Structure 1
Amino acid sequence: MRINPFRALLPHLEKIKSNDTFFAAVKEEFPRFAQTAYFESREIPALYLCSIQSVGHRALGLVACAHVQDYLQGAIKRHENTIPAKEEVQIRLWKEQMAMIKPVLLAYPSVPAIEAWMQNVANKQAPHLEIPFPAEEQTYQIWEITDPIELQYIQELFTAFVPRSYIADGHHRCSSSAILYEQTLIHGNVDPDFLVALFPSNHLNIQAFHRILEEVSWTVDELLKKLEPYFDIEARTSAVLPSQKFEWGLLVENQAFRLTWRRDFLEHYHWEKAILDTQLFNEVILPNVFDIVNVRQEPRLIYVEGGKGMAHLQHVQQLKPQRVAFALYPVNLQEMMLLADHDQALPPKSTWFEPRMKNGVVVRPFPI
């Protein structure tokens, strides 16, 4: 796939009192921040190497511009369907901000030559920016690459060894970029590029998206009876994360259970390329147990990011009476890629990738 350097806006760290507060506010406050010189304009087109260091984990990726035709022609693979109303909101926000303040997160199968190049840049140069986020125990480091030889080399590596990448976060930003591109074609002001952060798949982690249902008025015994045709059910003394695929956690009232899908039931899906727990939740549990058919328009359904842990899920479940929580096992990255390669969409809120870049760390202003 094609990657291009661009003229970025980078934050003026010396003007920022609290990184955690400032970057959390960028999405709403970017026009004001830009007008009051919280961002500097870089005059030379560049690519940006980005290191995201968390407790026990470091991810190294590249911030660049991708060409919208790679998305339209399937080199940038999607695994979720988009909603037109959200695309309209995204385009309106971009036109107000005149910038893309958060890159689309793209995952690609690891390429040793690319990883070696990134590590070499990080080892031999001091970062242009280092941004600590104390509240999250996370540190960003940003290297600016402007040398023409280096730029040509890494562009050629991506062209040769990365025929496709996969959207990990930002489906609506991708589709909105394509719509905006088509609009600029009509007016003759073509802008084919959009901001992306490309990370090797082995540098990213997939967390689960757990589910909570409100207004479930059955007793615990009544709920378990409705679930028995699909699961082997085991009572637990405390809430425990699922340890493998097809194993779920159930939290209802002050009780915890482990649910394991019955193998004879899973045989009905043997012809599928991949069977996902989120798919089973939407296609089996919601309609047959809770009489819910349209998952996208169900107001009683709440999604909770798995990275926040079971204690957080249990806390949210117990905030209101008559809430039931289902803890799911994370989707396998290879299964996500397989389904995307076959142009199949995952159910909504199937994956939560970490780490994902924060708003405002590297900004791409729109051409005027």
Structure 2
Amino acid sequence: MTSTDGLRLRPFRGLRYAPDRVSSLTAVTSPPYDVVVRPEGVRHLETADPYNIVRLILPHTADPAARHRQAADTLRRWRAEGVLTPDPEPALYVYEQRAGDVLQRGLIGALRLDGPVLPHEDVIPEVVEDRAALMRAAAANFEPLLLSYRGRNAANGATAVIERVVKGHPLLTTTTEDGFRHRLWAVTGPADLAAIDADLSRRRALIADGHHRWATYQRLYEQQPGAGADSPWASGLVLLVDTDRYPLQVRAIHRVLPHLPPAKALADLDAVFRSRTFRGGPSAALEALEETPGTAFVLAGEPDTFHLLDRPDAGLLDRTIRRDRPEAWRRLDATVLHSVLLDEVWHIPDHPSDISYLHHPVAAVEQAARQGGTAVLMRATSEETVRQLAEHGVTMPRKSTSFGPKPATGLVLRTLDEPGS
């Protein structure tokens, strides 16, 4: 596919829950698939409502090979029963999330894959293949990934349309368990769509959250023989946020190493990192981590014992971290973790069964304790550092950042097998 100079966000006929067929929108929504803590989180969502979206994004069966077909069959049945119904005409959707002082607004649409979209993390091939198998079987994009762009505080174009649209009556309003209120509006007017297109056609985007889904979109398009730029597979469902107007929050993603006992993890690091022990909950250790200059991590394997690691051996870093990358990349905590600790010190295989990624530190510690393994708690990387590296074509280790707030899954879906998709 030939690249375009800017972003092209296409309207689509959103597939949404019929309010009279579900107990509530809150009960059928879910966090993104990679944020749900499995299996406890899946069971919690499944029992919230028989039609919870988790049955589509994280299907499970006695036969693992049948998971994706089951999701496709479930989607087909819900559409036939009128649980999920298509909007009457293609639209872009203004999406708002609000909780306390946090306010985020953006546009949900089908973004062409040939636009200037910058990744900043590597992906896990097994995860891409799993997501591709799911989307291929269902012919649907179930959840938008999160992209950021810089509107340069433009007083017109996409921002002007968004600010005017939110003064009207929304298509839906709901509040999810995390306290965020979500509202959605449809943009269908030709003048508004033209203004958005003219604005975004001058922009480029950074993948904030959803590298695996973006890679999945690209793989699925490549697997469609003869598909041109107008094919539904030539675009993917995204939420675009102008971070000049609505700055994203950036949080860390933590690691759980189920096969590495905490005692061994600490013993292996004895000569190459300084270690300080904190008792009690994780708060004190995480506060100390944030205040520590240079490379640092928190290790935990029991709910009440935490170890702050810092001051790594300079010679070890020099020997193990590749030199053909910018200094900002070489200093990243995630770079040191993956290049030095995981690869050289602990010899942890780069495989989902050996490394889990969790967004919440308490959940990471609890999972590590259950498995007899080690949790590595991380700090966040600034959006500016992420963007600078991405603009130089440098990717960070996978799951280095967690941008948010993330869009709720289940408010609007995109199907690929009907007109207007």
Structure 2 length-normalised TM: 0.75
Distance 1:152 1:230 in 2: 58
Aligned residue number for residue 214 of structure 1? 258
Structure 1, unpaired ranges of 5+: none
Q: 1:100 aligns with which of 120, 141, 148?
A: 141
Distance 1:257 1:147 in 2: 57
- Which segment drifts farther, 350-359 or 85-94? 85-94
Aligned residue number for residue 327 of structure 2? 272
Aligned residue number for residue 65 of structure 1? 110
Query: Are residues 1:247 and 2:296 paired?
Result: yes
Structure 1 residues 256 and 131 mapped into 2: Cα distance closer, same or farther (>3 Å)?
Answer: same
Percent identity over paired residues: 24
Structure 1 length-normalised TM: 0.84
Deviations 1:234-286 (A, max 9, x none): 22233321215623222244422222234846984795242221111111112
Structure that is richer in helix per residue? 1
Distance 1:218 1:314 in 2: 11
Distance 1:33 1:363 in 2: 13
Distance 1:279 1:210 in 2: 14
**Structure 1 residue 54 displacement after superposition:** 2.9
**Structure 1 residue 348 displacement after superposition:** 2.1
Deviations 1:7-66 (A, max 9, x none): 222221232104344234322443322221122222322110000123442211100121
- Give the residue type in structure 2 aligned to 1:250: L
- Give the residue type in structure 2 aligned to 1:167: I
Distance 2:218 2:362 in 1: 40
Structure 2, unpaired ranges of 5+: 1-6, 31-51, 57-70
Structure 1 residues 302 and 41 mapped into 2: Cα distance closer, same or farther (>3 Å)?
Answer: closer
Alignment coverage as a number of residue pairs? 352
Tell me if structure 2 keeps the 8 A contact 1:104–1:174: yes
Q: 1:343 aligns with which of 393, 399, 409?
A: 393
Aligned residue number for residue 233 of structure 1? 275
Distance 2:261 2:307 in 1: 18
Secondary structure of the structure 1 residue equivalent to 2:341: helix
Distance 1:149 1:129 in 2: 23
- Give the residue type in structure 1 aligned to 2:136: K
Secondary structure of the structure 1 residue equivalent to 2:29: helix
Distance 1:194 1:358 in 2: 17
**Structure 1 residue 105 displacement after superposition:** 1.6
Structure 1 residues 32 and 117 mapped into 2: Cα distance closer, same or farther (>3 Å)?
Answer: same
Aligned residue number for residue 130 of structure 1? 173
Deviations 1:148-199 (A, max 9, x none): 1111112111123x1x111122223223322333343426783322211101
Distance 1:41 1:332 in 2: 39
RMSD: 2.8
Tell me if structure 2 keeps the 8 A contact 1:65–1:196: yes
Query: Are residues 1:81 and 2:89 paired?
Result: no
Deviations 1:314-355 (A, max 9, x none): 33332243x222211012222222222222222122122222
Aligned residue number for residue 317 of structure 1? 368
Secondary structure of the structure 2 residue equivalent to 1:334: helix
The equivalences for 1:117-196 within 5 A come to: 117-122=161-166, 124-133=167-176, 135-160=177-202, 162=203, 164-186=204-226, 190-191=231-232, 192-196=234-238
**Structure 1 residue 218 displacement after superposition:** 6.9
- Give the residue type in structure 2 aligned to 1:93: L
Distance 2:207 2:317 in 1: 30
Tell me if structure 2 keeps the 8 A contact 1:246–1:329: no
- Which segment drifts farther, 277-286 or 199-208? 199-208
- Give the residue type in structure 1 aligned to 2:355: L
- Give the residue type in structure 1 aligned to 2:173: E
The equivalences for 1:29-48 within 5 A come to: 29-48=74-93
Query: Are residues 1:204 and 2:245 paired?
Result: no
Distance 1:84 1:298 in 2: 10
